[in-house]
Amino acid sequence: MAHKRILVIEDDPAIRQGIVDALDVSGYQTLEAERGDAGCTLALQCDFDLLLLDLILPRMDGMEILRQVRQAHPTLPVIILTARGDEADRLEGFRRGADDYVVKPFSVKELLARVEAVLRRSPERPLEIAEIRLPGGIVDLPRCEIRFDDGARCELSEREHDLLRYLAANPDRVISRDEIMSRVWHVDPHGIETRTIDMHVARLREKLRDDATDPRTIVTVRGKGYRFVSAEPQP
């Protein structure tokens, strides 16, 4: 990953310096900012490959920076660094387009592994999609919500949201369980039981009203994985 440039926006001097030093030793080039407004300016004006972003910053909140970055650079990889560890904050970060989320305190090895993983898959990262058409409704990804034509609504969990977004961003392509573990779960799939993926797909089908006995939206390809089938645009 040498010669990749990473922007670090972090207001704690000790944490920021530790991150920058670790990245430098690993062969990355770095840019850094301690204030939110200065960091946002760098993020919008400079050329770099990945953003490491703290959420609680002086003069501009990290979520606002993420919002502006996503508008300007829809596919730029972003990893959030924050002491906020509850699900609501993680979900908000993913809703706004973050690729990964690291809760402080974290080890340098963990951070570098996540940086490498995000950069490794970033060339394949599809453009963000906001809506997914279903035979009987629509999925609103920013709101993590399914709205059916009969007026019913259903919320998606964080994991269901990420899984559905990845499948829908790769329509009509067979996605293996190992790929889902790597790209969605962000873990090394080797030696890990993948039954959990099947369980998440089953729950997702139920919420999508996708008949498990004859699925039309998330199709099982025996021995290979799953394939997302796009619905025809509604007239």
In a domain, 24, yes or no: yes
Question: 110 and 135 share a domain?
Answer: no
What is the dihedral angle through the alpha carbons of 20, 45, 99, 161, rounded to the nearest 10 degrees? 160
- What's 45's domain CATH number? 3.40.50.2300
Per-residue pLDDT, 12: 93
Q: What is the pLDDT along the chain (235 residues), one digit of tens a residue?
A: 447 899 999 999 999 999 999 999 999 999 999 999 999 999 998 989 999 999 889 999 999 999 898 878 777 899 998 876 666 767 777 777 788 888 888 888 999 999 998 887 665 555 557 889 998 899 998 889 999 999 999 999 988 998 998 899 888 888 888 888 877 876 766 656 668 889 999 999 999 999 999 999 999 999 899 999 987 543 3
| Overall pTM > 0.75 | no
Domain-located, residue 235: no
pLDDT at residue 38, as a whole number: 96
Whether residue 100 sits in one domain with residue 12:
yes
- Number of domains present in the structure of the chain: 2
Supply the CATH number for residue 175's domain: 1.10.10.10
Residue 38: how many CB atoms within 10 A of its CB? 16
Residue at a domain's end among 124, 139, 156: 124
Half-sphere exposure at residue 129, Cβ-oriented, CA atoms within 13 angstroms: 18
- Residue 80: inside a domain: yes
Is residue 75 one of the residues assigned to a domain? Answer: yes
The answer to whether residues 54 and 29 belong to one domain is yes
Longest distance between any two alpha carbons in the chain, whole Å: 57
